Amino acid sequence: MKESKVLNLALLTMKNVTITFKTSRGDLLAIDDIYFELNKGETLGLVGETGSGKTVTSLSIMRLLPFNAKISGEIFFDKTDILKLSENEMDEIRGKKISMIFQEPMTAFDPLFTIGQQFSEVLLKHENVSKEEARQRTIKMLKFVGIPEPEQRFNQYPHEYSGGMIQRVMIALALLTNPELVIADEPTTGLDVTIQMQILNLMKKIQKTSNLSMIFITHDLGVISKMANKIIVLYLGKILEIGTVADVIFSPIHPYTKGLVSSIPTLRTNKSERLYSIPGNVPSLNEIGKGCRFYSRCPVRMDICKDKTPQLSEYNSGHFAACWVANKNKVG
């Protein structure tokens, strides 16, 4: 994929980022030379099955990778390569300018401290406020995300909140310091459909009113179609397709993306109709071959796909895919 000529518009740029993990089985390649940009005010969807590298990508932006991870490449946030920052310098960005909504909010909060104490700690660390100012800002933010009786909830512990409410609290914490970038990692996992829709609508409202940039991580293309401007399809740490929501959802190019799209139920889907399921399972990282990552599960694979890795090619303006079959059938 070519580097953008409007790099100055990008809030975040991941450039040729590769991440490996040292294990007893040798080095495992988790993220392979990915490049993308996120502009200010834009929502980018990272889509793929479990094991595709979505969470690893997000943790690399936060500089929260485990000790056995090795990363190369560049990650520019507001024109600063955060991989070159000291831990103290990164600590000033993490939680202040970049925040994260974790998949399991109940495990993200310390059960020994009240919600109010944990919110106040963030504000006192990153901003010059008094304890009372921190309290008032916390209450205001809890109210903003729809927490009833926020003054009383301020003094409650995480276990006293329901699943849907603690997710709202997690969103409130992520927004507390007015960050420029919010990373949402499967924020509606484990919630019932009604609560999921409430959370998604809340996040969409926040994104529009605050004009913040967001990376939304999910395995569900149906969810991401409601949230994102642009979609990246990841598979085993490799970008297989990237484009606008309209491009990826309505005109998918890669066979993997087509499989994901076909698995989305629609209003026309008969209740008795069996939804499409991509054959096989995602291989483990130590089973990756030298060709296309999707080779073992691809219904239209060719001989070249096994031995040679396809590179991202542009099919329409801003719509890229990495597929030998699609490239063979490309017109013009």
Q: What is the pLDDT of residues 77-114, one digit of tens each?
A: 999 999 999 999 999 899 889 999 987 888 889 999 99
pLDDT over 70 at 31, yes or no = yes
Please report the pLDDT score of residue 132 as a whole number.
95
Please report the pLDDT score of residue 6 as a whole number.
41
Indicate the domain borders of the chain: 7-97+178-328, 105-176
Residue 7 — pLDDT band, cuts 50, 70, 90? very low
CB atoms within 10 A of CB 222: 14
**Rg of the chain (C-alpha set):** 21
Please report the pLDDT score of residue 43 as a whole number.
94
pLDDT over 80 at 68, yes or no = yes
55-59, 142-146, 157-161, 273-277: least confidently modelled range: 273-277
**In CATH, what is the architecture of 7-97+178-328?**
3-Layer(aba) Sandwich (3.40)
Please report the pLDDT score of residue 274 as a whole number.
66
| Cβ contact 183:61 at 8 Å | yes
How high is the mean pLDDT of the chain? 89
- The reported pTM is 0.89
pLDDT over 80 at 269, yes or no = no
pLDDT digits (tens, 9 = 90+) for 193-240: 888 888 888 888 888 888 899 999 988 888 888 889 999 999 999 999
pLDDT over 60 at 136, yes or no = yes
How far is the C-alpha of 234 from the C-alpha of 15, rounded, in Å? Answer: 15
- As a dihedral over the C-alpha atoms of residue 117, residue 119, residue 121, residue 123, rounded to 10 degrees, the angle is -140
Residue 9 — pLDDT band, cuts 50, 70, 90? confident
Q: Which residues have CB under 8 Å from 86's CB, separation 6+?
A: none
Please report the pLDDT score of residue 303 as a whole number.
94
Q: Which residues have CB under 8 Å from 199's CB, separation 6+?
A: 164, 167, 168, 171, 187, 188, 191
